[in-house]
Every structure is written in structure tokens, then in C-alpha cells.
Amino acid sequence: MRNEILGDEAAKVREAKLERRCTTRLRREKGRKLSKMATEQSFFLIDDLHVEIEGNEILRGVDLSVKRGEIHAIMGPNGSGKSTLAHTLMGHPSYEVTAGQVLYNGEDILEKDPNDRAKLGIFLAFQYPLAIPGVSTLNFLRTSLKAVKQAEISAREFRKHLLEKMDMLKISREFAGRYLNDGFSGGEKKRMEILQMAVLEPQLAVLDEIDSGLDIDAIRAVGEGISSIMHPEMSIVIITHYPRILHFVKPDYVHIMADGKIRQSGGFELAEELEAKGYDVLLKEVMLASS
Ligand code: ADP
Ligand code: MG
């Protein structure tokens, strides 16, 4: 009897999953038609994105529309789903998209693997950058650039490109020869992520908590570095828990995420309001206003 009930439950879950997949496929069909229209308005469009990890729904319908030349900040309390969004955008295999679509330059990227997304010009800076002992920063970055651009770049040409970016970001040239992130401080690792972004010249950068664990001087260095890379053809989505870095990377739009969904959007003043009130008070007000 118990097994029958459990079997019934399992069948229901399977049915629900199947239904969601069908809906997703229908949405993607619709998305293809929408895509041309959407691109004219938004360079990067997230539409009703639902994501599960091990059967638990973490993202519950995220919408975001980003034009070229815009910086969007996504803020939210711990556990609200910010990193889940970043990992899903990069195509991490543990995250299952159950509904919604993500259009980049008119193309649905959800079916593409992480390498192809990078080749399209999408860059993700990780919250916890990895160290690669035995591989110099210079060699790592040259290999990454060759993979992304799908072209040969001579050692000499690359060195010039790298040193230019290092000087621009005020990173000591000595780092080029050191093993990537091996023994680097938290701040140095985050600056290496920014250097990687400068070298790869992406069109869309998603930066997940690039400021976490940094002191105020390191936050300023990272923030000013990001601002110096930004240009009118590029878009940045900066994910952060704390408003501090946004004083150096002035976002055009600020979104507050809670419980897997964007609950409030506004301009820079929303980050200032959050700074003054904190998440608890601000989110209570948002919930009250929407009920
Ligand atoms: P944030 O970056 O906003 O702090 P996360 O996206 O890391 O939030 O996490 C959102 C929720 O998803 C949390 O409740 C977290 O416990 C859960 N979660 C994140 N990664 C995993 C995972 N690999 N397996 C199971 N649950 C996870
Ligand atoms: Mg996170």
C-alpha cells in the first residue's frame, strides 16, 4: 500500500516534471520568435527563469532585461539564489532549468555548454576563484584568450596585451609569472578575476560577489578596475550582498532578490535605501506593498 502511494507520488512528480519540460520547450519556440524583437531592446534577457538543485526549486521566476552599456546590480540576502543565478547563466551542470529562457544577443544560451557561452563573449567571475599551482598567470590567461577567441596569439603579442591590462588595472607586472592564485590573498585573487575579464574583453560580465571578504581598499581597487574596463558596448551584472562596491561601480539599475525572485528594482537610490535600512526592513516593506 505504502509503495503504491509512493509510486503514485513519484508518477505525479514525473508528470509535473514532464509538463514543465514541455512548457519550457514551448517557451523556447516562442523565445526564438521573440528573440529578434527582444535583441533590439535588450542585449541580455532573462525571462521567468526557474532553476532546481537536486529537486529543490531555488530560482522561482527571475526576470531581467539588460541593454548594451548598462550595469545592473543584483543584491540579496544570503541564500536568496544569487550564486545559483550566476552558475546557471554559465551552464553549471548541477543546476536544472525547469522553465524560462535566457536570451543573449537574440540567442537562447541555455542549451549551450559553458565553453560556447564563453566564446560568445560571456564572462563569469567566481565567488571562490580556484588556484592552479604549476600554471603561470600569463600562460593561463593566454590559453583562455586563445580558447575564447578561437585564434592563435603569439607569446609576444599576448605579453603586450597582458601588460597593457595589468598597467591599466595597476596590478604589479610581477604577477604575470606567478602561479595562478597560488598563495594569493583574497583581494589579489579577486583582482586576478578582474584582470582575466580585462584580457578576455567579454561583452557580458557576470560578477558574483567579487567584493566578498575584501577590505575597503581592495574593494575600491576592484571596483575602480571594473569601471575602467566598462565601455558602451559592454554590459555588466554585478551580484553583491553589500552595497559598498556599488559606490565605485555605479550601477544604472539595482535589483533586490529574495527567495529566488527579484522583488524590487530601482536605480542607485535603492542600494542607498538598502544601506540605510538593511534587508529585513526593506524586504518587509516590499512584501507589504505587494500584498
Ligand atoms: P546566494 O548566492 O544568494 O547566497 P545561493 O544561490 O548560493 O544563494 O543559494 C540559494 C539556495 O540554494 C540556498 O538555500 C542554498 O542552500 C541552496 N543551494 C545552493 N547550492 C546548492 C547545492 N549545490 N545543493 C543544494 N542546495 C544548494
Ligand atoms: Mg552567493
Interval 215-239: pLDDT, tens: 999 999 999 999 999 999 999 999 9
- From the CB of 135, is ligand 1 less than 6 Å away? no
Please state the rounded mean pLDDT for residues 176-196: 91
pLDDT value at position 5? 47
- From the CB of 260, is ligand 1 less than 6 Å away? no
Ligand number, closest to the Cα atom of 55: 1
Q: How far is the CA of 81 from the centre of ligand 1 (A)?
A: 6
Top CATH class, 2-290: alpha beta
User: Residue 126 pLDDT > 90, yes or no?
Assistant: no
Atom of ligand 1 nearest to the CA of 76: 3
**Residue 209 near residue 245, CB atoms below 8 Å:** no
Q: What is the pTM of this model?
A: 0.86
First to last CA, the chain: 42
Nearest partner of 190 among 171, 167, 173, 176, judged by Cα: 171
Q: How far is the CA of 7 from the centre of ligand 1 (A)?
A: 29
pLDDT band at 196 (very low <50, low <70, confident <90, very high): very high
- From the CB of 54, is ligand 1 less than 6 Å away? yes
User: Residue 52 pLDDT > 60, yes or no?
Assistant: yes
- Other Cβ atoms closer than 10 A to 183: 9
**What 8-state DSSP symbol labels residue 252?**
S
Q: Which residues pair with 287 in a beta bridge?
A: none
d(C-alpha 20, C-alpha 6), whole Å: 21
**Residue 240 near residue 210, CB atoms below 8 Å:** yes
Q: What are phi and psi of 117, to 5 degrees?
A: -65, -40
Please give the share of the chain, as a percent, with pLDDT higher than 90.
76
**Residue 180 near residue 140, CB atoms below 8 Å:** yes
Atom of ligand 1 nearest to the CA of 209: 2
Nearest CA to ligand 1 atom 22: 53
Q: How far is the CA of 236 from the centre of ligand 2 (A)?
A: 17
Helix and strand numbers (H, E) in the chain are: 8, 12
Nearest partner of 151 among 160, 161, 159, 142, judged by Cα: 142
**Based on the number of CB atoms within 10 Å of its own CB, is 63 exposed (0-12), middle (13-18) or buried (19 or more)?**
middle
Q: How far is the CA of 159 from the centre of ligand 2 (A)?
A: 33
Nearest partner of 77 among 245, 257, 208, judged by Cα: 257
Please state the rounded mean pLDDT for residues 81-103: 95
Q: How far is the CA of 280 from the centre of ligand 2 (A)?
A: 18
- From the CB of 83, is ligand 1 less than 6 Å away? yes
pLDDT value at position 1? 45
Nearest partner of 239 among 192, 269, 217, 271, judged by Cα: 271
Q: How far is the CA of 68 from the centre of ligand 1 (A)?
A: 29
AA letter at 198 = A
pLDDT value at position 127? 72
- From the CB of 128, is ligand 1 less than 6 Å away? no
Give, as residue ranges, everything with CB less than 5 Å from ion ligand 2: 82-83
User: Residue 274 pLDDT > 50, yes or no?
Assistant: yes
Interval 10-29: pLDDT, tens: 555 555 555 555 555 555 55
Atom of ligand 1 nearest to the CA of 77: 3
d(C-alpha 90, C-alpha 206), whole Å: 9
pLDDT value at position 20? 56
pLDDT value at position 11? 56
pLDDT value at position 257? 98
Interval 202-211: pLDDT, tens: 999 999 999 9
Averaged pLDDT score across all residues of the chain = 88
**Residue 129 near residue 189, CB atoms below 8 Å:** yes
- Other Cβ atoms closer than 10 A to 77: 16
pLDDT value at position 2? 47
- Other Cβ atoms closer than 10 A to 17: 14
pLDDT value at position 128? 76
Alpha helices (H) along 91-229: 114-119, 137-149, 155-168, 186-200, 216-229
